[in-house]
Structure 1
Amino acid sequence: MAGVLTLSRCVLLWRPLWKGRALTSVRSMVSLEDRARAVFAAAVEGVQPDSVVRRGLQREGSELLVGGRSFKLKNNLHMVGFGKAVLGMAAEAERIVGDHLVQGVISVPHGIQETLQHHGKLNMLLGSSSRIKVMEGAKHNLPDSDAQRAAETIKELVSGLTERDLLLVLISGGGSALLPAPVSPITLQEKQDVTRRLAAAGATIQELNTVRRSLSLLKGGGLAQCAYPAQVVALILSDIIGDPLDLIASGPTVWSKVQPAEVWAILERYDLATSLPSSVKEVLNKIGVHSEAEPKEPPQDFGDCVLNSVIGSNTIALECAGRKARELGLRPVVLSPGVCGDVRSVARLYGLLSRYACSPGKDSLSELDEQILQLGPKVGVETWDLCRTMKILGDGREEGWGATCLLAGGEPTVHLKGKGSGGRNQELALRVALELSGGDKIPAVFLSGGTDGQDGPTEAAGAVTDAELEADAKNQGLDIDGFLRNNDSFTFFSHLSEGRRLLLPGLTGTNVMDVHIMLLPPPPPAE
């Protein structure tokens, strides 16, 4: 009850700031699509590697300050990192710590240095005199032999540290693929096949990381254990809903004991338990017995030797998006940073919310209320967040506020059945367009984009759609249902209007999952 009272009080305090103002500056940009793209760009800009590192890592003389704690710098700092955003994070961290850095090794995506150089993002590149070794690997976000060599090099570095050393660990999305160290006798290919099959079957990122962790030497706290008794400080750019430290990059600096029953339950849920390679079965069956598959229990002071600090997340990206929306005269409403579940259900929820916001009357609202509240928990949105969002949307509808910018983030899943090209953001955008087109067309614009600039194995980060997309597709002879059945959303958007609806920011150098933006114009007056 206290939470509800606090919410109501916040809404009442905030609401008058917007009433009567939104329509004034909303005309400053040409279209809703332009504004949606600008809001997405602001979300990505707010979680750039250099800015999040500067916020989370400060230096005062010979003291390094992180998360309210200070660490003495005595030319004793070593650095390792792995993830899509780690190159930019490492460049900024090295600028901060200066000559106190002894050595470093980072594992980053294949081709990222050349790509960042090509796009002029020189601030994300290391200087010519850097003490950090860069190793590229994991083509198409999949672990490979190059990434495994990087993991072995990182393990060798941290294993030689002593209690006098300070290890700075930089972690971001994509870290799991860039730190593959499978438990013997599992080969990299066997581990990769298991995770690929899980992903194709629709497993969540949490489930994928739980299985990966059980088959890995460095995940689940393994890296920090290798570094013990050195002091470990991890700066984390989260790419998982809720920012769970043990799941981001599979938790290499967070001790997590493998639970065999949980791993087997996931494999059985996706009908993979009986078709596993013999090496994987061997490792999983050994868990619980003294073996390489389960590291020894950590020392009693292990927790004191490790500090994990989340310095960037989807929530921060949405906050930055909201500020940009205000600049554009829009009324920002954050639904949730935790949207997940099947893209079909996620698209349906956005369709229902758009109709709720744009309905000119109250006759059908009670029915919409019920449908929204029933669907929300299936896609990771709490009932409290739904009620708060609907209240704000309802107030805007009844009191004549201007255009609304509904914001959300997370990572929906796609159950792959076809062999087409595309990703969850493009497929979600396409399905939301069908929702907006159904019945009375809703004059809204929807954008879904991956903050890393990549949506599946394509050059796009996502797409922008509206209620006119279905008609445009028919006029151009494109069968939407056929493309969806083949999970071929990228090909669809590439053909539609010469690809102008695609979101193509290029490699961003960061990754905090996806951002969803729904721009809702004011509803027409009730008759």
Structure 2
Amino acid sequence: MTAPDPRTQPRAFLEHLYRAAVHRALPLHNTAPFLPRPPRGRTLVLGAGKAGGAMAQAVEALWPQDAPLSGLVVTRYHHTPPRPAGVRERIEVVEASHPVPDAAGLQAAERILALTRGLTSDDLVLCLISGGGSALLTLPAEGLTLEDKQRINRQLLDSGANITEMNCVRKHLSRIKGGRLAAACAPARVVTLTISDVPGDDPSVIASGPTVPDATSCADAVAILQRYAIEVPGAIMSLLEQGALETPKPADAVFQGQEVHMIATPQQSLEAAAAAARAAGLEAHILSDEMEGESREVGKVHAALARAVALRGQPFGRPCVILSGGETTVTVRKQPEGTARGRGGRAGEFCLGLAQALQGQAGVWALAADTDGIDGMEDNAGAFIGPDTLQRALAQGMKIDGYLSRNDAYGYFHALGDLVVTGPTHTNVNDFRAMLVL
């Protein structure tokens, strides 16, 4: 596909780079090299995540048509892609809530765990794991209710905790995550295919690692809960403090002979976007696929870099594209009584911080979006900014500081017509950020 001219169509060009990144991470393009041979027994497919529906369809399309195949995968509401023509449905796909779990996710997790009963050493369990699986695969520890998990999840999401910290807690408050699903599959062989949405591509963090050993401890979970003042029932805190909710560890024999394959990563998608930029005649620079921190602060750092390039040609010459990925966080600020809560996610808040710090810098455009097509809990993937963003907002009486103070990126960019709306992409390799400096 020919790229739009970045000099005359900067927004369309940045959206082209985003599409290149997403395309690289689609399951159908990445699954075949990692599929094992059919076993002597049966093949059971289990999975969870925002890419779950697309991963299941990829397996259905690639698995031998005469070999037995069945299973259950849970994905986010409205994230099941249309079934390709000629691909027979053999894996059931159900939908549930994300990022806050619901009863549908609880029921799916119970069914998935039930399907592991009666497996033998002749059987193969193919686990399809992608980002979002922590909320979608919810099975509270004994003594916790779904309502407890929902409340804890909301507090974690608002706290500013990073994904590794959040998923450490989630693993220890679950009966299926943190390696427990793999333990339930014994003695069957387990092969996990995963799409990374976390900095460092650690499979024990992706979807809270239901099929891989967990090196974190109950003590780690307690420290995180205390650090962010997350409330849990007293009886559960006592169990954590006693180590009674510990997860299977790397030395556990249950993981011997199991395989984990990373079929798509953030770095691969950033490299695809860089290649698309270079094909359009621009230099492309990837900062990192592991960036973390407060979204607005990461935006300010990116702004400082873009201004240096625009004003001094350092550290990169113009024209160029600067790319980054990872998973930033948003600490939701408390608002005065009666004030409406702002709307938006990590990508939008990054763009607010970026625009505020750029102060209308000439020659700089940027797009930030989540590769799953959903920024937080909204209907947009992210947002776009240009040199005229602040000026156009002020013409409508909108001051960016106020929108930042109430975490209302959605309201700001919606009013400007600068939301990036793609719908679900059926994959998830986390944050995508691109700055164009001309």
Counterparts of 2:107 and 2:77, CA distance in 1 = 13
Write out aligned runs for 1:365-444 (5 A).
390=315, 393=316, 396=317, 402-417=318-333, 418=335, 419-437=341-359, 441-444=361-364
TM-score, normalised by the number of residues in structure 2: 0.92
Counterparts of 1:41 and 1:111, CA distance in 2 = 19
Counterparts of 1:165 and 1:298, CA distance in 2 = 23
Deviations 1:311-336 (A, max 9, x none): 11101110110111112211111110
Provide the residue aligned with 2:22 in structure 1: 44
Counterparts of 1:55 and 1:445, CA distance in 2 = 38
Q: Helix, strand or coil: the match of 2:203?
A: coil
Counterparts of 1:411 and 1:210, CA distance in 2 = 16
Q: Helix, strand or coil: the match of 1:426?
A: helix
Counterparts of 1:446 and 1:226, CA distance in 2 = 46
For residue 280 of structure 1, the aligned residue among 236, 243, 264 is: 236
Q: Helix, strand or coil: the match of 2:73?
A: strand
Question: Is the alpha carbon distance of 1:190 and 1:107 closer, same or farther for their aligned partners in structure 2, counting shifts above 3 Å?
Answer: same
Kindly tell me the number of residue pairs found equivalent between the two proteins: 429
Deviations 1:6-48 (A, max 9, x none): xxxxxxxxxxxxxxxxxxx984773222211111111111111
Counterparts of 1:245 and 1:360, CA distance in 2 = 41
Counterparts of 1:241 and 1:420, CA distance in 2 = 27
Does the CA contact (< 8 Å) of 1:75 and 1:102 recur in 2? no
TM-score, normalised by the number of residues in structure 1: 0.77
Counterparts of 2:4 and 2:46, CA distance in 1 = 45
Question: Is the alpha carbon distance of 1:282 and 1:476 closer, same or farther for their aligned partners in structure 2, counting shifts above 3 Å?
Answer: same
Question: Is the alpha carbon distance of 1:352 and 1:461 closer, same or farther for their aligned partners in structure 2, counting shifts above 3 Å?
Answer: same
Matched, 1:135 2:67: no
Alpha-carbon distance, 1:276 to partner: 2.3
Larger Rg belongs to: 1
Alpha-carbon distance, 1:502 to partner: 1.2
Matched, 1:323 2:295: no
Provide the residue aligned with 1:89 in structure 2: 55
Counterparts of 2:40 and 2:275, CA distance in 1 = 41
Counterparts of 1:299 and 1:31, CA distance in 2 = 54
Alpha-carbon distance, 1:340 to partner: 0.8
Alpha-carbon distance, 1:295 to partner: 5.8
Alpha-carbon distance, 1:160 to partner: 2.1
Counterparts of 2:252 and 2:222, CA distance in 1 = 29
Does the CA contact (< 8 Å) of 1:79 and 1:101 recur in 2? no
Give the gaps of 5 or more residues in structure 2: 336-340
Alignment root-mean-square deviation, CA: 2.2
Counterparts of 1:315 and 1:342, CA distance in 2 = 21
Counterparts of 2:86 and 2:134, CA distance in 1 = 23
Does the CA contact (< 8 Å) of 1:35 and 1:328 recur in 2? no
Provide the residue aligned with 1:455 in structure 2: 375
Alpha-carbon distance, 1:411 to partner: 1.2
Provide the residue aligned with 2:289 in structure 1: 337
Provide the residue aligned with 1:504 in structure 2: 421
Write out aligned runs for 1:219-298 (5 A).
219-256=177-214, 258-272=216-230, 275-288=231-244, 293-294=245-246
Alpha-carbon distance, 1:112 to partner: 2.9
Does the CA contact (< 8 Å) of 1:82 and 1:172 recur in 2? yes
Pick the structure with more helix per residue.
1
Counterparts of 2:399 and 2:14, CA distance in 1 = 26
Question: Is the alpha carbon distance of 1:33 and 1:489 closer, same or farther for their aligned partners in structure 2, counting shifts above 3 Å?
Answer: same
Counterparts of 2:305 and 2:185, CA distance in 1 = 49
For residue 264 of structure 2, the aligned residue among 309, 312, 330 is: 312
Alpha-carbon distance, 1:55 to partner: 4.3
For residue 210 of structure 1, the aligned residue among 154, 158, 168 is: 168
Give the gaps of 5 or more residues in structure 1: 1-24, 58-63, 65-70, 366-389, 397-401, 522-527
